[in-house]
């Protein structure tokens, strides 16, 4: 099953490399949103430091939402997804492989870019490190939860809007714990509790969302 998982992930990464414009548009959105806020609110260092955790996390959340259509839409359009459902391999393994590729495409670049963009907000080095860890734990949750919404809205008109309406309420705990970890570290209270809660949400998402996504795919393709 591991070979199937890695084959699916490798295939999706290769296809994403051929459609680089989708990935670049998501990253451009993240960079533009994060960079425009300091120009809009002014150069006050204390204000920028207080706002930085929420701005960076909201921008990462919205940017990852833009990439949710990359999960199943192209495979649904050319019939590949139906063939995947007919294979003897568990559909949950295929879903995990596709989510892994989606996180590498959309989540990992955000994790690597966010600490660089956080410099313009004047965050201390320890808070920037916590931002990196919180995004490293939190962005896989966004991909796992987003897979459910992408599967439920597969083939529907205006699916991009519908998937946003479905998953954004579920993203709220991730946003609270992720931004709270950075804010707590910047204020000197420590981010351990927030990161542990974020890790618990990740463990729950890994245990539940692949099966939920697989069931949603079967419903959408019936």
DSSP class of 1? -
CA-to-CA dists, residue 126 to 33, 117, 121, 132, angstroms: 23, 15, 14, 10
pLDDT tens for the chain, residues 1 to 222: 677 888 888 888 888 787 777 778 888 888 898 888 888 777 777 788 888 888 889 998 888 888 787 788 777 777 777 787 777 778 888 889 889 988 998 889 899 998 888 888 888 888 889 999 999 999 999 999 988 888 888 767 655 677 777 888 889 989 999 888 888 888 778 788 889 999 999 999 999 999 998 888 888 777
Q: What is the DSSP string of 157-206?
A: TTHHHHHHHHHHHHHHHHHHHHHHHHHHHHTTS-SHHHHHHHHHHHHHHH
Six-digit token pair at 207? Answer: 């245990």
In terms of Cβ atoms closer than 10 Å to its own Cβ (0-12, 13-18, 19+), residue 94 is buried
Candidates 16, 27, 23; CA nearest to 113 is 27
Q: Please tell me the distance from the alpha carbon of residue 105 to that of residue 99, in angstroms, as a whole number.
A: 10
Domains of the chain, by residue range, sit at 2-221
Reported pTM: 0.88
Residue 158: its pLDDT value, please? 57
Q: What pLDDT is recorded for position 153?
A: 81
């Amino acid at each position: 099953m591991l070979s199937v998982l890695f084959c699916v992930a490798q295939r999706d990464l290769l296809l994403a490399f051929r459609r680089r414009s989708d990935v670049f548009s998501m990253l451009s959105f993240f960079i533009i949103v994060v960079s425009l806020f300091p120009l809009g609110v002014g150069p006050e260092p204390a204000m920028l430091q207080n706002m930085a955790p929420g701005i960076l996390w909201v921008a990462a959340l919205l940017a990852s939402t833009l990439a949710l259509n990359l999960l199943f839409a192209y495979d649904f359009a050319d019939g590949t997804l139906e063939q995947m459902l007919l294979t003897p391999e568990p559909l949950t393994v295929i879903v995990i492989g596709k989510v892994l590729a989606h996180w590498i495409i959309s989540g990992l670049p955000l994790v690597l870019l966010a600490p660089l963009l956080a410099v313009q907000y004047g965050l201390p080095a320890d808070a920037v490190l916590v931002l990196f860890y919180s995004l490293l734990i939190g962005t896989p949750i966004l991909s796992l939860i987003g897979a459910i919404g992408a599967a439920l809205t597969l083939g529907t008109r205006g699916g991009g809007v519908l998937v946003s309406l479905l998953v954004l309420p579920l993203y709220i705990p991730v946003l609270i714990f992720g931004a709270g970890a950075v804010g707590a570290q910047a204020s000197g209270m420590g981010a351990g509790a927030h990161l542990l809660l974020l890790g618990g949400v990740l463990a729950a998402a890994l245990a539940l969302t692949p099966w939920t996504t697989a069931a949603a795919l079967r419903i959408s393709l019936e």
